[in-house]
Structure 1
Amino acid sequence: MNDQITMKLNMDKLILQALEEDITSEDITTNAVMRESRTGEVDLICKEDGIIAGLEVFKRTFELLDENTKVEFYVKDGDKVKNKDLMGKVTGDIRVLLSGERTALNYLQRMSGIATYTNTVASLLKNTKTKLLDTRKTTPNMRIFEKYAVKVGGGYNHRYNLSDGILLKDNHIGAAGGVKEAIEMAKEYAPFVRKIEVEVENLEMLKEALSAGA
C-alpha cells in the first residue's frame, strides 16, 4: 500500500470517485462557515481497540483534495491500537480537512475493522497448517482496499478477480456435467493456468477432482 505507483494507478481514481460521491459541486456547509483558507490541525484518535489498516489511504484522501496537506502518523498499518491512542495529526486548509474527513475515515474504519476481525480469526489458526483466505465477495469498488486489510490482519489473498485462476464451483460443475468433465474442459480451454481449484461437498467429489488432475 506504500507503493506510490500502485496508489496512483489503482487507488487514486477510486478515492476520487468516493470524494466525488460526497462532494458533487461543493461542501456547502463548510463553505458557509469558512469563507477563506485558514490552516488548522486535527488529531486522529483511536476510539476502539483493534488492528489499524488504511493509513496511507486516509492520508491520500486529503492529499488529493490539496497536495499541501501534511499528515503525520505515530503508528503503522498492522499495529495494535487502543481506545484513545493518538495515531496521527493532519495539518492543512481547514476547509479541506472538513470536506475530506468523512471519506478518509470511512476508508480507515472499514479497513481497520476488516484487519481486526481477520486478526481475531487468524489467531485461532496459529500453530496449525491452515491458512485463512479471503474471497471475491468484496464491496464493489473496495476490493483493493479490503483485500489489503485482510493481509494486514494476518490473512492471505485468494483470487483477486475472475481472470486470476480457475475455481470450479457447483454451478460450473453442473453446467459441465460433472467434476471430471469440468476439469477436462478447464484444462482444454486454459492449459496455461497452473492451478485448477474445485469446490467439493464430499469425499467422493474430492477423489474425483484429484483423479481428474485438480
Structure 2
Amino acid sequence: MEKAVVLLSGGLDSTVCMAVARSKGLEVYPISFNYHQRHSIELESAKKVAEFYNVKKHLIIETNMEAIGGSALTDDKIAVPDGDFAHGTEDIPITYVPARNLIFLSYAMGYAEVIGANQVFIGVNAVDYSGYPDCRPEFIASFQKTANLATKAGTADAHPISIATPLQNLSKKEIVQLGSQLGAPLQFTHSCYKGGVKACGVCDSCKLRLRGFAEAGVVDPVEYENM
C-alpha cells in the first residue's frame, strides 16, 4: 500500500480528509500537534479518529505557538469572538494562528520523507472558511514548489511528495455530505475554538459547522452549549 501523511487536528475537515485518503486505499499516517492551543481538547478527538481507523502510528508533535501568541487560539488574554458570517474572506480574524499551516506542513513533509510517503493530505478549504491566508490555493501551490526544492525527495530523488487538498473547493455542506458518504467518524470530531467539553455553538468554527450540517440535512452528532 502507498503511504500518506494526514494532518489530523480532530476537527470536521481533517477527519473527512482522513476518510478521503483511506477511501483511496492509502495507508494513512496521521500527524497532530499540541501547539499549546486553547482548544487542546481537539487532540483527544484526533486520538479517537486515529484509533477508529486503526492506524499503525499516530504521531503527535509538541510545539509551543503560545510563546509566539498573536491569536485568540494561543493567547488566553484574547477572547474568542462569536462567529460573524458578515466578515469577508479578505478579513483575517483574531483566531488566525500566525504561520500555523506553514509550520505544520513543514513537519508533515519531513515525516513523509522519513516514512516513504508519497502524499501529504491537508483539509484546507477556501469556500466556507474563516479567511485564513494559509488555507488558500495560492499558499498550497507556493508551498508545494518550496517543498520540491527543500526536500531530498524533490531534489536528489526527483520524486516530489505531493500535497493533496481534497476539500479545497467544497462547501461545509459538501464536506459533511462527503464525510457521511465515506462513513467518517464525525461523532468524534471537535471543531469549537473555545475548548469546552461541549462545543460552544457561537464561535466562528461552530457556526460554520452547524450551518454545514443543517444545509446537508444531517444531524450533527456532537453536543453544544448553544445551538
TM-score, normalised to structure 2's length?
0.25
Query: Greater relative contact order: 1 or 2 (C-alpha under 8 angstroms, separation 6 or more)?
Result: 2
Q: Which has the higher helix share?
A: 1
TM-score, normalised to structure 1's length?
0.26
CA radius of gyration, larger in: 1
